[in-house]
A and B are shown apart, each in its own frame.
Chain A
Protein backbone atom coordinates (compact mmCIF):
# COMPACT_ATOMS: atom_id res chain seq x y z
CA UNK A 1 0.00 0.00 0.00
CA UNK A 2 1.33 3.45 -0.89
CA UNK A 3 1.32 6.57 1.30
CA UNK A 4 -2.01 7.82 -0.07
CA UNK A 5 -3.70 4.54 0.71
CA UNK A 6 -2.24 4.43 4.20
CA UNK A 7 -3.15 8.03 5.01
CA UNK A 8 -6.70 7.32 3.95
CA UNK A 9 -6.81 4.80 6.80
CA UNK A 10 -4.74 6.58 9.44
CA UNK A 11 -7.67 8.28 11.17
CA UNK A 12 -9.53 5.01 11.61
CA UNK A 13 -6.28 3.36 12.66
CA UNK A 14 -5.85 5.97 15.39
CA UNK A 15 -9.48 5.50 16.42
CA UNK A 16 -8.85 1.76 16.72
CA UNK A 17 -11.62 0.68 14.38
CA UNK A 18 -9.64 -0.81 11.49
CA UNK A 19 -9.84 -4.54 10.95
CA UNK A 20 -6.86 -6.52 12.25
CA UNK A 21 -5.69 -7.11 8.68
CA UNK A 22 -5.92 -3.46 7.62
CA UNK A 23 -4.28 -2.32 10.86
CA UNK A 24 -1.39 -4.74 10.26
CA UNK A 25 -0.95 -3.37 6.74
CA UNK A 26 -0.88 0.20 8.04
CA UNK A 27 1.57 -0.69 10.82
CA UNK A 28 3.94 -2.39 8.38
CA UNK A 29 3.98 0.80 6.31
CA UNK A 30 4.57 2.96 9.39
CA UNK A 31 7.68 0.97 10.25
CA UNK A 32 9.56 2.42 7.31
CA UNK A 33 7.68 5.61 6.33
CA UNK A 34 8.62 8.51 8.64
CA UNK A 35 6.18 10.97 7.05
CA UNK A 36 3.16 8.74 7.58
CA UNK A 37 4.45 7.85 11.03
CA UNK A 38 4.44 11.52 12.00
CA UNK A 39 0.87 11.93 10.80
CA UNK A 40 -0.13 8.75 12.64
CA UNK A 41 1.49 10.09 15.81
CA UNK A 42 -0.49 13.33 15.61
CA UNK A 43 -3.75 11.44 15.21
CA UNK A 44 -2.82 9.02 17.98
CA UNK A 45 -2.28 11.92 20.38
CA UNK A 46 -5.74 13.21 19.51
CA UNK A 47 -7.13 9.77 20.36
CA UNK A 48 -5.32 9.83 23.69
CA UNK A 49 -7.17 13.05 24.51
CA UNK A 50 -10.48 11.26 23.92
CA UNK A 51 -9.41 8.45 26.23
CA UNK A 52 -9.49 10.77 29.21
CA UNK A 53 -12.89 12.30 28.45
CA UNK A 54 -15.18 9.76 30.21
CA UNK A 55 -16.25 10.82 33.68
CA UNK A 56 -13.93 9.22 36.24
CA UNK A 57 -15.75 6.18 37.58
CA UNK A 58 -15.57 4.75 41.06
CA UNK A 59 -13.11 1.88 40.84
CA UNK A 60 -13.70 -1.30 42.90
CA UNK A 61 -11.28 -1.33 45.82
CA UNK A 62 -10.13 -4.89 45.13
CA UNK A 63 -9.28 -4.23 41.50
CA UNK A 64 -5.73 -3.11 42.24
CA UNK A 65 -4.95 -6.40 43.97
CA UNK A 66 -6.52 -8.34 41.11
CA UNK A 67 -4.42 -6.44 38.56
CA UNK A 68 -1.22 -6.98 40.53
CA UNK A 69 -1.99 -10.68 40.95
CA UNK A 70 -2.77 -11.12 37.24
CA UNK A 71 0.41 -9.39 36.09
CA UNK A 72 2.58 -11.21 38.62
CA UNK A 73 0.98 -14.48 37.61
CA UNK A 74 1.68 -13.88 33.93
CA UNK A 75 5.18 -12.67 34.78
CA UNK A 76 5.78 -15.91 36.66
CA UNK A 77 6.17 -14.23 40.02
CA UNK A 78 4.77 -16.08 43.02
CA UNK A 79 2.01 -13.99 44.53
CA UNK A 80 1.85 -13.54 48.29
CA UNK A 81 -0.91 -15.56 49.94
CA UNK A 82 -4.18 -13.68 50.16
CA UNK A 83 -5.30 -12.07 53.38
CA UNK A 84 -6.89 -14.65 55.70
CA UNK A 85 -10.37 -13.28 55.41
CA UNK A 86 -13.27 -15.67 55.48
CA UNK A 87 -14.25 -14.79 51.97
CA UNK A 88 -10.81 -15.67 50.71
CA UNK A 89 -10.76 -18.90 52.64
CA UNK A 90 -14.07 -19.92 51.23
CA UNK A 91 -13.04 -19.11 47.71
CA UNK A 92 -9.77 -20.92 48.18
CA UNK A 93 -11.68 -23.95 49.41
CA UNK A 94 -13.88 -23.86 46.38
CA UNK A 95 -10.94 -23.44 44.08
CA UNK A 96 -9.16 -26.37 45.71
CA UNK A 97 -12.24 -28.51 45.38
CA UNK A 98 -12.57 -27.60 41.74
CA UNK A 99 -8.98 -28.50 41.14
CA UNK A 100 -9.62 -31.81 42.85
CA UNK A 101 -12.68 -32.34 40.71
CA UNK A 102 -10.70 -31.41 37.65
CA UNK A 103 -7.98 -33.86 38.52
CA UNK A 104 -10.40 -36.66 39.24
CA UNK A 105 -13.03 -36.03 36.68
CA UNK A 106 -11.17 -34.72 33.73
CA UNK A 107 -7.57 -35.74 34.18
CA UNK A 108 -7.19 -39.17 35.71
CA UNK A 109 -10.55 -40.44 34.61
CA UNK A 110 -10.06 -39.39 31.03
CA UNK A 111 -6.58 -40.85 30.93
CA UNK A 112 -7.27 -44.02 32.89
CA UNK A 113 -10.77 -45.00 32.09
CA UNK A 114 -11.68 -43.39 28.81
CA UNK A 115 -10.62 -46.46 26.91
CA UNK A 116 -13.22 -48.52 28.75
CA UNK A 117 -16.01 -46.22 27.61
CA UNK A 118 -16.84 -46.54 24.00
CA UNK A 119 -19.14 -43.60 23.92
CA UNK A 120 -17.84 -40.13 24.72
CA UNK A 121 -21.29 -39.24 25.96
CA UNK A 122 -20.97 -41.81 28.75
CA UNK A 123 -17.72 -40.26 29.89
CA UNK A 124 -19.23 -36.81 29.80
CA UNK A 125 -22.23 -37.89 31.85
CA UNK A 126 -19.99 -39.54 34.41
CA UNK A 127 -17.89 -36.38 34.68
CA UNK A 128 -20.97 -34.23 35.15
CA UNK A 129 -22.14 -36.52 37.92
CA UNK A 130 -18.72 -36.33 39.56
CA UNK A 131 -18.78 -32.54 39.36
CA UNK A 132 -22.25 -32.24 40.83
CA UNK A 133 -21.38 -34.64 43.62
CA UNK A 134 -18.27 -32.60 44.35
CA UNK A 135 -20.30 -29.40 44.37
CA UNK A 136 -22.79 -30.96 46.77
CA UNK A 137 -20.00 -32.25 49.00
CA UNK A 138 -18.48 -28.78 48.97
CA UNK A 139 -21.77 -27.23 50.02
CA UNK A 140 -21.86 -29.48 53.08
CA UNK A 141 -18.36 -28.42 54.10
CA UNK A 142 -17.65 -26.09 57.04
CA UNK A 143 -16.83 -23.15 54.79
CA UNK A 144 -20.46 -22.90 53.82
CA UNK A 145 -21.91 -23.27 57.28
CA UNK A 146 -23.72 -19.93 57.25
CA UNK A 147 -27.41 -20.89 57.04
CA UNK A 148 -28.00 -17.79 54.95
CA UNK A 149 -25.69 -19.07 52.22
CA UNK A 150 -27.51 -20.37 49.20
CA UNK A 151 -25.99 -22.67 46.64
CA UNK A 152 -27.48 -23.29 43.23
CA UNK A 153 -26.34 -26.21 41.13
CA UNK A 154 -27.29 -27.28 37.65
CA UNK A 155 -26.49 -29.46 34.68
CA UNK A 156 -25.68 -27.97 31.31
CA UNK A 157 -27.17 -29.74 28.34
CA UNK A 158 -25.89 -29.30 24.80
CA UNK A 159 -27.76 -27.33 22.20
CA UNK A 160 -29.11 -29.53 19.44
CA UNK A 161 -26.24 -31.05 17.54
CA UNK A 162 -23.60 -29.38 19.66
CA UNK A 163 -22.50 -32.29 21.86
CA UNK A 164 -20.93 -32.13 25.29
CA UNK A 165 -22.40 -30.93 28.53
CA UNK A 166 -21.40 -29.58 31.87
CA UNK A 167 -22.19 -28.64 35.42
CA UNK A 168 -22.37 -25.31 37.22
CA UNK A 169 -22.66 -23.93 40.71
CA UNK A 170 -23.25 -20.49 42.14
CA UNK A 171 -22.85 -19.43 45.75
CA UNK A 172 -25.03 -16.58 46.98
CA UNK A 173 -24.06 -15.40 50.41
CA UNK A 174 -24.70 -12.36 52.59
CA UNK A 175 -21.47 -12.90 54.49
CA UNK A 176 -18.90 -13.90 51.89
CA UNK A 177 -18.30 -13.06 48.30
CA UNK A 178 -20.64 -14.57 45.67
CA UNK A 179 -19.08 -16.83 43.13
CA UNK A 180 -19.78 -19.04 40.15
CA UNK A 181 -18.01 -22.18 38.95
CA UNK A 182 -18.78 -23.68 35.55
CA UNK A 183 -17.40 -26.91 34.10
CA UNK A 184 -17.91 -27.95 30.51
CA UNK A 185 -16.88 -31.36 29.19
CA UNK A 186 -17.29 -33.83 26.41
CA UNK A 187 -17.27 -31.12 23.75
CA UNK A 188 -16.54 -33.04 20.55
CA UNK A 189 -13.32 -32.13 18.70
CA UNK A 190 -15.23 -30.93 15.65
CA UNK A 191 -16.57 -28.08 17.79
CA UNK A 192 -13.18 -26.94 19.07
CA UNK A 193 -12.73 -24.68 16.04
CA UNK A 194 -15.58 -22.56 17.41
CA UNK A 195 -13.59 -21.61 20.52
CA UNK A 196 -13.35 -19.39 22.47
CA UNK A 197 -16.54 -20.11 24.37
CA UNK A 198 -18.01 -17.43 26.61
CA UNK A 199 -19.87 -18.44 29.75
CA UNK A 200 -22.66 -16.24 31.09
CA UNK A 201 -25.08 -16.29 33.97
CA UNK A 202 -28.47 -15.01 32.92
CA UNK A 203 -31.52 -13.76 34.80
CA UNK A 204 -35.18 -13.84 33.88
CA UNK A 205 -35.02 -10.07 33.44
CA UNK A 206 -32.59 -10.58 30.57
CA UNK A 207 -29.63 -9.37 32.62
CA UNK A 208 -26.42 -11.20 31.89
CA UNK A 209 -23.11 -11.59 33.73
CA UNK A 210 -19.98 -12.96 32.19
CA UNK A 211 -18.34 -15.72 34.19
CA UNK A 212 -15.41 -16.02 31.86
CA UNK A 213 -13.98 -17.24 28.63
CA UNK A 214 -12.83 -20.71 27.66
CA UNK A 215 -9.98 -20.43 25.22
CA UNK A 216 -8.96 -24.08 25.09
CA UNK A 217 -10.25 -27.52 26.10
CA UNK A 218 -8.34 -30.54 27.31
CA UNK A 219 -8.29 -33.85 25.45
CA UNK A 220 -11.68 -34.69 26.95
CA UNK A 221 -13.19 -31.50 25.60
CA UNK A 222 -13.31 -30.11 29.13
CA UNK A 223 -12.41 -27.00 31.08
CA UNK A 224 -13.47 -25.31 34.30
CA UNK A 225 -13.72 -21.61 35.04
CA UNK A 226 -14.74 -19.69 38.14
CA UNK A 227 -15.27 -16.09 39.08
CA UNK A 228 -15.97 -14.08 42.20
CA UNK A 229 -18.63 -11.39 41.98
CA UNK A 230 -19.10 -8.31 44.10
CA UNK A 231 -22.82 -8.50 43.57
CA UNK A 232 -25.79 -10.62 44.48
CA UNK A 233 -26.14 -13.56 42.09
CA UNK A 234 -29.47 -14.76 43.47
CA UNK A 235 -31.46 -13.63 40.43
CA UNK A 236 -29.13 -15.31 37.98
CA UNK A 237 -30.71 -18.70 37.53
CA UNK A 238 -29.34 -19.99 34.25
CA UNK A 239 -25.97 -20.68 32.65
CA UNK A 240 -25.43 -20.22 28.93
CA UNK A 241 -22.27 -21.09 27.02
CA UNK A 242 -21.87 -19.57 23.57
CA UNK A 243 -19.20 -20.14 20.95
CA UNK A 244 -17.11 -17.54 19.13
CA UNK A 245 -19.98 -16.87 16.73
CA UNK A 246 -22.42 -16.31 19.54
CA UNK A 247 -24.23 -19.64 19.01
CA UNK A 248 -25.40 -21.43 22.12
CA UNK A 249 -23.23 -24.48 22.80
CA UNK A 250 -24.92 -25.61 26.00
CA UNK A 251 -27.10 -24.21 28.72
CA UNK A 252 -29.00 -25.19 31.80
CA UNK A 253 -30.95 -23.89 34.78
CA UNK A 254 -29.51 -23.47 38.25
CA UNK A 255 -31.67 -24.80 41.05
CA UNK A 256 -31.30 -25.04 44.79
CA UNK A 257 -29.18 -27.98 45.82
CA UNK A 258 -32.13 -29.99 47.06
CA UNK A 259 -33.70 -29.83 43.63
CA UNK A 260 -30.68 -31.05 41.76
CA UNK A 261 -30.50 -34.66 40.80
CA UNK A 262 -27.30 -36.24 39.65
CA UNK A 263 -27.45 -37.42 36.07
CA UNK A 264 -27.90 -41.14 35.61
CA UNK A 265 -24.71 -43.08 35.09
Chain B
Protein backbone atom coordinates (compact mmCIF):
# COMPACT_ATOMS: atom_id res chain seq x y z
CA UNK B 1 0.00 0.00 0.00
CA UNK B 2 2.89 2.37 0.69
CA UNK B 3 4.15 1.62 -2.81
CA UNK B 4 0.75 2.32 -4.29
CA UNK B 5 0.48 5.59 -2.39
CA UNK B 6 3.83 6.69 -3.80
CA UNK B 7 2.72 5.84 -7.33
CA UNK B 8 5.39 3.14 -7.41
CA UNK B 9 5.35 1.38 -10.75
CA UNK B 10 5.96 -2.12 -9.34
CA UNK B 11 3.35 -1.71 -6.61
CA UNK B 12 0.69 -0.66 -9.12
CA UNK B 13 1.60 -3.54 -11.43
CA UNK B 14 1.49 -6.02 -8.54
CA UNK B 15 -1.96 -4.84 -7.50
CA UNK B 16 -3.12 -4.86 -11.10
CA UNK B 17 -1.67 -8.33 -11.58
CA UNK B 18 -3.83 -9.65 -8.75
CA UNK B 19 -7.02 -7.76 -9.42
CA UNK B 20 -6.92 -6.28 -12.90
CA UNK B 21 -8.71 -9.17 -14.49
CA UNK B 22 -11.50 -9.62 -11.92
CA UNK B 23 -12.11 -5.87 -11.92
CA UNK B 24 -12.28 -5.78 -15.72
CA UNK B 25 -14.53 -8.88 -15.78
CA UNK B 26 -16.88 -7.36 -13.22
CA UNK B 27 -16.94 -4.11 -15.20
CA UNK B 28 -17.71 -5.93 -18.41
CA UNK B 29 -20.54 -7.83 -16.74
CA UNK B 30 -22.05 -4.72 -15.20
CA UNK B 31 -21.50 -2.15 -17.93
CA UNK B 32 -21.80 -4.37 -20.98
CA UNK B 33 -18.96 -3.08 -23.20
CA UNK B 34 -15.22 -3.58 -23.22
CA UNK B 35 -14.63 0.17 -23.55
CA UNK B 36 -16.65 0.90 -20.45
CA UNK B 37 -14.90 -1.94 -18.58
CA UNK B 38 -11.50 -0.52 -19.55
CA UNK B 39 -12.44 2.93 -18.28
CA UNK B 40 -13.85 1.46 -15.10
CA UNK B 41 -10.67 -0.54 -14.47
CA UNK B 42 -8.56 2.60 -14.75
CA UNK B 43 -10.94 4.52 -12.48
CA UNK B 44 -10.87 1.72 -9.89
CA UNK B 45 -7.10 1.75 -9.55
CA UNK B 46 -7.01 5.54 -9.41
CA UNK B 47 -9.67 5.43 -6.69
CA UNK B 48 -7.65 2.73 -4.88
CA UNK B 49 -4.68 5.07 -4.93
CA UNK B 50 -6.80 7.92 -3.57
CA UNK B 51 -8.18 5.73 -0.77
CA UNK B 52 -5.10 3.62 -0.07
CA UNK B 53 -4.25 5.52 3.10
CA UNK B 54 -7.63 4.60 4.53
CA UNK B 55 -7.38 0.88 3.83
CA UNK B 56 -7.20 -1.01 7.12
CA UNK B 57 -6.19 -4.68 6.67
CA UNK B 58 -7.43 -5.50 10.16
CA UNK B 59 -10.97 -4.59 9.09
CA UNK B 60 -11.24 -6.44 5.83
CA UNK B 61 -9.51 -8.18 2.98
CA UNK B 62 -7.84 -6.30 0.18
CA UNK B 63 -9.95 -8.12 -2.40
CA UNK B 64 -13.19 -7.15 -0.65
CA UNK B 65 -12.06 -3.54 -0.45
CA UNK B 66 -10.97 -3.28 -4.07
CA UNK B 67 -13.92 -5.16 -5.56
CA UNK B 68 -16.29 -3.01 -3.50
CA UNK B 69 -14.68 0.08 -5.06
CA UNK B 70 -15.14 -1.51 -8.49
CA UNK B 71 -18.77 -2.39 -7.90
CA UNK B 72 -19.67 0.99 -6.43
CA UNK B 73 -18.07 2.88 -9.31
CA UNK B 74 -19.82 0.65 -11.84
CA UNK B 75 -23.24 1.03 -10.22
CA UNK B 76 -22.73 4.81 -9.95
CA UNK B 77 -22.00 4.86 -13.65
CA UNK B 78 -24.99 2.70 -14.51
CA UNK B 79 -27.24 5.06 -12.64
CA UNK B 80 -25.62 8.23 -13.89
CA UNK B 81 -25.40 7.59 -17.58
CA UNK B 82 -28.71 7.93 -19.25
CA UNK B 83 -29.12 5.63 -22.17
CA UNK B 84 -26.42 3.15 -21.18
CA UNK B 85 -28.06 -0.20 -21.58
CA UNK B 86 -28.01 -2.22 -18.46
CA UNK B 87 -26.43 -5.63 -18.84
CA UNK B 88 -28.77 -8.38 -19.89
CA UNK B 89 -29.78 -10.40 -16.92
CA UNK B 90 -27.92 -13.67 -17.09
CA UNK B 91 -27.87 -15.98 -14.13
CA UNK B 92 -24.35 -16.34 -12.91
CA UNK B 93 -24.35 -20.09 -13.35
CA UNK B 94 -25.33 -19.60 -16.99
CA UNK B 95 -22.27 -17.52 -17.78
CA UNK B 96 -19.95 -19.64 -19.92
CA UNK B 97 -16.52 -20.40 -18.53
CA UNK B 98 -13.48 -18.83 -20.12
CA UNK B 99 -10.66 -21.17 -21.14
CA UNK B 100 -8.27 -22.06 -18.37
CA UNK B 101 -5.72 -19.36 -17.66
CA UNK B 102 -2.63 -19.02 -15.59
CA UNK B 103 -4.34 -17.23 -12.76
CA UNK B 104 -4.93 -19.87 -10.19
CA UNK B 105 -6.01 -17.50 -7.47
CA UNK B 106 -8.67 -15.92 -9.61
CA UNK B 107 -9.99 -19.32 -10.61
CA UNK B 108 -10.13 -20.44 -7.00
CA UNK B 109 -11.99 -17.27 -6.07
CA UNK B 110 -14.42 -17.83 -8.89
CA UNK B 111 -14.90 -21.46 -7.96
CA UNK B 112 -15.73 -20.39 -4.41
CA UNK B 113 -18.17 -17.80 -5.77
CA UNK B 114 -19.91 -20.31 -7.99
CA UNK B 115 -20.23 -22.80 -5.13
CA UNK B 116 -21.63 -20.13 -2.85
CA UNK B 117 -24.18 -19.10 -5.47
CA UNK B 118 -25.08 -22.72 -6.10
CA UNK B 119 -26.25 -22.87 -2.49
CA UNK B 120 -29.14 -20.56 -3.44
CA UNK B 121 -32.31 -21.52 -5.19
CA UNK B 122 -32.89 -20.06 -8.65
CA UNK B 123 -35.27 -17.34 -7.46
CA UNK B 124 -32.88 -16.05 -4.82
CA UNK B 125 -29.92 -16.23 -7.19
CA UNK B 126 -31.87 -14.17 -9.68
CA UNK B 127 -32.90 -11.72 -6.99
CA UNK B 128 -29.28 -11.11 -5.97
CA UNK B 129 -28.21 -10.82 -9.61
CA UNK B 130 -30.81 -8.12 -10.25
CA UNK B 131 -29.56 -6.06 -7.33
CA UNK B 132 -25.83 -6.68 -7.69
CA UNK B 133 -25.37 -6.90 -11.44
CA UNK B 134 -28.09 -4.52 -12.55
CA UNK B 135 -28.00 -2.06 -9.68
CA UNK B 136 -31.71 -2.39 -8.90
CA UNK B 137 -32.81 -1.28 -5.45
CA UNK B 138 -35.14 -3.36 -3.30
CA UNK B 139 -37.88 -0.84 -4.05
CA UNK B 140 -37.37 -1.11 -7.80
CA UNK B 141 -37.54 -4.91 -7.60
CA UNK B 142 -40.58 -4.68 -5.36
CA UNK B 143 -42.40 -2.40 -7.80
CA UNK B 144 -41.41 -4.44 -10.85
CA UNK B 145 -42.52 -7.74 -9.39
CA UNK B 146 -45.47 -6.52 -7.32
CA UNK B 147 -43.96 -7.98 -4.17
CA UNK B 148 -44.03 -6.11 -0.84
CA UNK B 149 -40.84 -4.13 -0.21
CA UNK B 150 -40.30 -5.82 3.15
CA UNK B 151 -40.43 -9.24 1.51
CA UNK B 152 -37.82 -8.27 -1.06
CA UNK B 153 -35.51 -6.93 1.64
CA UNK B 154 -35.92 -10.03 3.78
CA UNK B 155 -35.23 -12.36 0.88
CA UNK B 156 -32.21 -10.36 -0.24
CA UNK B 157 -30.73 -10.38 3.24
CA UNK B 158 -31.36 -14.10 3.73
CA UNK B 159 -29.76 -14.89 0.38
CA UNK B 160 -26.71 -12.77 1.17
CA UNK B 161 -26.25 -14.45 4.54
CA UNK B 162 -26.47 -17.82 2.80
CA UNK B 163 -23.79 -16.81 0.31
CA UNK B 164 -21.62 -15.60 3.19
CA UNK B 165 -22.02 -18.85 5.11
CA UNK B 166 -21.37 -20.98 2.05
CA UNK B 167 -18.09 -19.17 1.53
CA UNK B 168 -16.97 -19.27 5.15
CA UNK B 169 -13.41 -20.52 5.58
CA UNK B 170 -12.70 -20.29 1.85
CA UNK B 171 -11.44 -16.74 1.76
CA UNK B 172 -8.02 -16.39 0.23
CA UNK B 173 -6.88 -12.79 0.23
Contact = CB atoms under 8 A, between A and B. Distances in A.
Given A47-B160, A48-B61, A71-B12, A55 B98 contact: yes
Contacts of B22: 51-52, 54, 56
B149 to A, nearest CB: 10
Interface stretch (A37-45, A170-178, A184-192): A37-45
A203 to B, nearest CB: 13
Contacts of B12: 67-68, 71-72
B86 interface: no
A12 B163 contact: no
Nearest to B5: A75
Interface string A1-45: 000000010111011111000000000000000000000011111
A42 B64 CA distance: 11
Contact of B68 (A12, A48, A245, A246): A48
B16 A64 contact: yes
B14 to A, nearest CB: 11
A245 B164 CA distance: 38
A138 to B, nearest CB: 24
Interface string B131-148: 110011110000000000
Query: Size band of the A side of the interface?
Result: 35 or more
Nearest to B140: A17
A244 B77 CA distance: 11
B77 to A, nearest CB: 10
A63 B81 CA distance: 23
Given A51-B22, A72-B9, A246 B82 contact: yes
A244 B80 CA distance: 8
A148 interface: no
A232 to B, nearest CB: 13
A83 interface: no
A55 B83 contact: no
Contacts of A258: none
A46 B137 contact: no
Contact of A11 (B60, B113, B153): B153
A66 B25 contact: no
A12 B138 contact: yes
Contacts, number: 194
Contact of B160 (A11, A58, A59, A246): A11
A5 to B, nearest CB: 12
Query: Size band of the B side of the interface?
Result: 35 or more
A67 B156 contact: no
Given A45-B164, A57-B37, A71-B49, A51 B21 contact: no
B113 A56 contact: no
Contact of A64 (B20, B75, B95, B110): B20
Interface string B57-76: 00111011001101110010
A242 interface: yes
B167 A57 contact: no
B60 A17 contact: no
Contact of B29 (A54, A74, A209, A229): A54
B95 A50 contact: no
A101 to B, nearest CB: 24
A4 to B, nearest CB: 12
A70 B116 contact: no
Interface string A62-84: 01101110111011110000000
A8 B137 CA distance: 13
A210 to B, nearest CB: 6
Name the 10 nearest CB pairs between A and B, nearest first.
A246-B82, A75-B7, A51-B67, A77-B7, A46-B164, A48-B64, A54-B29, A53-B113, A52-B109, A46-B160
30 contacts: A8-B153, A12-B137, A12-B156, A14-B160, A17-B131, A17-B136, A47-B132, A47-B160, A48-B63, A49-B113, A49-B164, A50-B113, A52-B113, A54-B26, A55-B95, A55-B97, A55-B98, A56-B21, A56-B25, A57-B34, A63-B42, A67-B41, A67-B42, A68-B9, A75-B7, A198-B81, A208-B83, A209-B35, A245-B82, A246-B81
